[in-house]
Amino acid sequence: MSESPLRRAVRRNRRAMAVGALGHTLYQVCETLVPVAIGLVIDRAVATGDPVALAASVAGLAALFATLTLSWRFGARSVTRAAETEAHRLRVEAADRALDPRAPATGLGAGELLTVATTDADRTAEALHPLTGVIGSVVGLAVAAVVLLRIDPVLGGGVLVGVPVLVAIVQLIGPVLTRRTAAQQEALARASGLAADLVRGLPALRGAGAEEQAARRYADASAGALRGALRAAVPRGLYQGATGLAGGLLLAAVAVGAGVFALQGRISVGELVTVVGLAQFLTEPVREVGYAAMELAGSRASARRLEKVLHAPFRLDAGEPGAAERCGEHGGRGTAPVELKGVGGPLAGLDLRVGPGEYVGVVCYDPADAWALADVLAARVPASAHGGAYLVGGVPAEALGPEEVRARVLVEPHEPDLFEGTLAGNVLTGADPGADPWPALRAAAADEVVRTVPGGLQAAVTDRGTTLSGGQRQRVALARALAADPPVLVLNDPTTAVDAVTEEAVAAGLRELRHGGAPRSTVAVCSSPALLARADRVVAVAEGRVVAEGTHAGLAASDPRYAEAVLR
């Protein structure tokens, strides 16, 4: 059975937690001894009027407070450092899992995954604080009970019996709080994830006129998060109220009992001060125990959500050892052919071969076929799942594994993302160190973008490239794909946001860069006459099958359906 993220966090930080628990325990013991020391000062220095005893008492109190302060400081520092480090580890683990080429089946959207990898990872690591704090609180309660037992067995016995009973009563609310906190966090994650996804797809929503529908979806999700928060607030409020009430009842009971005993002469004035001080102190560790349980409820809920991501099964296999070397026997990474044989499912039995150095245009009459083809070529779905085969250099993609496939076959998405940074940084992402960006920029007609934006190659690019127009983003993303110089490049409608003149320039630059020197293979899944006219051959796909094949000019003249799809 896999270890839960919460257990692993504790195991990995047990030394730091031990230091933190020691510091917090020493702090609580010193807190307990403060009223004891004051009581002794009253009985042995103030009541007797002994200046030597008074000076020694002041020095002792100073040492006690110095120890109290330093123990808290170093204990808290150790736990805080461990919690922050663990939060970083969990964030990295969640991000690595989410980005794994084998595609984990988490069942979560991109926005929800982001919430789990940030908020839930942080919340899980925060469990280190209450886990160490509760140890010191329990020790502080035990020391207080021992002191009270020495002063009067009845007072000490009442604390020893009363504290566990009160804590146990308060803990009855714990399971309800855990369940409702988990539901609240799931609802909040859904709302946050939906918000992130909607903002990401806002241009598409505007284009489809679906802003109002999207706003209603978010309003419903946000209302669900609000209901979850309110449901969780009830037991949380009860928890805090019950904890405060329990501490107050304990304080009142001990103080009243001590007052009665002082009037009866059973305890001295100094002991009365000690008892009242301890009674006030007892509310802190009782509250700390309640706080720890409440925080752990939230951490457990976050850990369960994080566990779903970290332990999610993979949709794809990692590949077989030595498969990459077998692929190299078929001509090396730069010239390996790509073949699809009888791919079923949405593609209904597609056969397609792209030879070494070949430029193939693919026209899909149904856009769904284009998306399905891109998913197969990018190894996002296994071709064998539908009874077909996807071969790279004669080796099945499942044997190579998604990472090796993607090192040979780069599928540039139709709606690519740009990253926050500079134009140069975006273009050279994935390129060899020291690569020259200008050949790729000129081929993608993105050199014009560099010349028109302030700052040129060092121009700032915002997240997702929102400061650029749609056509500029598309050209910069195409330049990035070209600069990576993959052995096989698959483009999915790469020029839909540019004008006809620019599209013609892109088509000419693509052909020259990819096939004018050292040959590379290119697949252009599109309906652009400019791109298709420069392809070595064009295949037309309908209902998941190849229904026509030839040159662009030949198909346009002989196939009315092709001419309608491409030349309309």
User: Domain 5-310 carries which CATH code?
Assistant: 1.20.1560.10
Residues 6+ positions from 483 with CB-CB distance below 8 Å? 427, 428, 430, 431, 435, 437, 439, 440
Residue 104 dihedral angles phi and psi, to the nearest 5°? -65, 140
Handedness of CA 68, 73, 79, 80 (dihedral sign): positive
- pLDDT at position 169 is 62
Looking at residue 44, the DSSP 8-state letter turns out to be I
547/369 Cα distance (integer angstroms):
13
pLDDT at 79: 92
Model pLDDT, residue 332: 45
- What residues contact residue 541 under an 8 Å CB cut-off, 6+ apart? 347, 350, 362, 363, 364, 365, 366, 369, 373, 547
CA max distance for the chain = 118
pLDDT the model gives residue 203: 52
Give the H/E segment covering residue 115. helix 110-115
Alpha carbons 526 and 504: distance in angstroms, whole number: 14
Q: Are strands 389-392 and 338-343 parallel, antiparallel or unpaired?
A: antiparallel
- Per-residue model confidence (pLDDT) at position 55: 86
> Phi and psi of 254, rounded to 5°?
-70, -40
Phi, psi of 336 (to 5 degrees): -70, 135
Q: Which amino acid, one-letter code, is at 63?
A: A
* Nearest CA among 158, 126, 129 for reference residue 141: 158
Give one word for 466, left, alpha or beta, with left for phi > 0 and alpha for psi -120 to 50: alpha
Q: Which two tokens mark 360?
A: 């193939």
* Residue ranges of domains in the chain: 5-310, 323-412+486-567
CATH class of 323-412+486-567: alpha beta
**Whole-number Å distance between alpha carbons of 527 and 494:** 10
Q: How far apart are CA 436 and CA 445, in angstroms?
A: 15
The pLDDT of residue 175: 60
pLDDT at 335: 59
Confidence (pLDDT) at 329:
40
> What is the rounded distance in angstroms from the CA atom of residue 281 to the CA atom of residue 39?
14
Tokens 């860069």 found at: 513
Can you read off the two tokens belonging to residue 62? Answer: 């100073």
Query: What pLDDT score does 179 carry?
Result: 58
SS3 342: strand
User: Would you state the pLDDT for residue 235?
Assistant: 58
Is 148:141 a contact under the CB 8 Å cutoff? no
pTM over 0.75, yes/no? no
Asked whether the beta carbons of 75 and 22 are under 8 A apart, the reply is: yes
**What three-state secondary structure class fits 467?**
coil
How many other C-beta atoms lie within 10 A of the C-beta of residue 560?
Answer: 9
The structure tokens listed for 202 are: 């806002």
User: In whole angstroms, what is the distance from residue 297 CA to residue 157 CA?
Assistant: 31
Integer angstrom CA distances of residue 235 from 179, 240, 297, 298: 10, 9, 11, 12
Of the candidates 304, 302, 172, 289, which has an alpha carbon nearest to the alpha carbon of residue 238? 172
Angle (CA) 386-389-392 rounded to 5° is: 145
Cβ(294)–Cβ(62) below 8 Å: no
The answer to whether 131 touches 137, Cβ cutoff 8 Å, is: no
Q: Using an 8 Å Cβ cutoff, are 397 and 405 in contact?
A: yes
* Cβ burial, residue 282 (10 Å; 0-12/13-18/19+): buried
- Looking at the DSSP bridge assignments, the partners of residue 341 are 389
- According to DSSP, the residues that pair with 410 across neighbouring strands are 489
Q: Give the pLDDT of the chain (568 residues) as one tens digit per residue.
A: 578 898 999 999 999 999 999 998 998 888 888 888 887 788 777 777 778 877 887 888 888 889 888 998 998 899 999 999 999 999 999 988 888 888 788 877 766 777 788 888 998 999 999 888 888 888 887 888 788 778 878 777 776 676 666 666 655 655 655 555 555 556 555 556 555 555 555 555 454 555 566 566 656 666 665 665 556 555 566 666 666 676 677 777 777 877 787 787 787 777 777 777 777 777 677 777 767 777 787 788 888 889 888 888 887 777 777 767 777 544 444 557 899 998 877 887 889 999 988 999 999 999 889 988 998 898 888 877 667 889 998 888 888 888 888 888 999 887 778 888 898 998 998 888 888 999 999 999 999 999 988 888 998 888 777 778 888 899 999 999 999 999 999 999 999 888 999 999 999 999 999 988 767 899 999 999 999 999 999 999 998 899 999 999 999 999 999 999 998 7
